[in-house]
Amino acid sequence: MIDVRLLTGPFIPGQFIGPFTNAHPGLGGVCTFVGEVRGEDGVEALELSHYEPLTLPGMQALAQQAVTRFGLMGMLMLHRVGVMRPGEPIVCVSAAASHRRAAFDAVDFAMDHLKSQSWFWKREQRGGEWTWIEPRGQDYADLARWD
């Protein structure tokens, strides 16, 4: 099962992960990563924008690619858009597989691609001022691991 969603409001990862796990009887393991908005360095809010015609289709293609490449039973991929406060989940990726290694690698793969090859633009608010975030060189290096 591939379940990919863009969410416009706060969400609780467990409410998606539980049903996702239960949808795959016979699985060996589920690896999950949840990323949250960090409040460090005085960040007051974070805004993610997307481009409707590309963002969700791109995520669906990425999830399908991960399922095929790592032989998964399923992948859950949730991503917030809009304005978020520190402590709110931004992203949740789960992979269900027969074996642990495949589940781990698939989530790692998906996260690297979500970070630097999916159609999201991020800006942060500090002291009332919004600043756009550029991708870091490290993000491209992470991505290159999968070539």
Q: Which of 113, 117, 16 is nearest to 74 (CA)?
A: 16
Q: Which is nearer to other proteins, 5 or 123 (CB)?
A: 123
Pairing type for strands 120-126 and 82-84 reads unpaired
Q: What is the DSSP secondary-structure string of 22-35?
A: HT-TT--EEEEEEE
Contacts of 66 (CB under 8 A, 6+ apart): 72, 75, 95, 106, 109, 110
- Residue recorded with tokens 């790692």: 108
18 belongs to the binding site for a second copy (CB under 8 A) = yes
27 belongs to the binding site for a second copy (CB under 8 A) = yes
Give the one entry of a second copy, other proteins, none that residue 54 binds, where binding means its C-beta sits below a cut-off of 5 to 8 angstroms depending on kind.
other proteins
Q: Mask of contacts with a second copy, 113-142, x by CB under 8 A?
A: ------------------------------
Q: Which is nearer to a second copy, 25 or 53 (CB)?
A: 25
Q: Which residue of 25, 53, 128, 137 would you call a contact of a second copy, by CB under 8 A?
A: 25
Residue numbers at the binding site for other proteins (CB under 8 A): 35, 48-49, 51, 53-54, 79, 90-91, 111, 114-123, 132-135, 139
Q: Quick check: 67 and 76 in contact, CB under 8 A?
A: no
Shortest spacing between CB 135 and other proteins, in angstroms? 5
Cα–Cα distances in angstroms (integers) from residue 91 to residues 7, 83, 128, in the given order: 10, 13, 24
Which residues sit at the interface with a second copy, rule CB under 8 A?
Answer: 12, 14, 17-18, 21, 25-36, 38-40, 86-87, 98, 100, 103-104, 107-108, 111
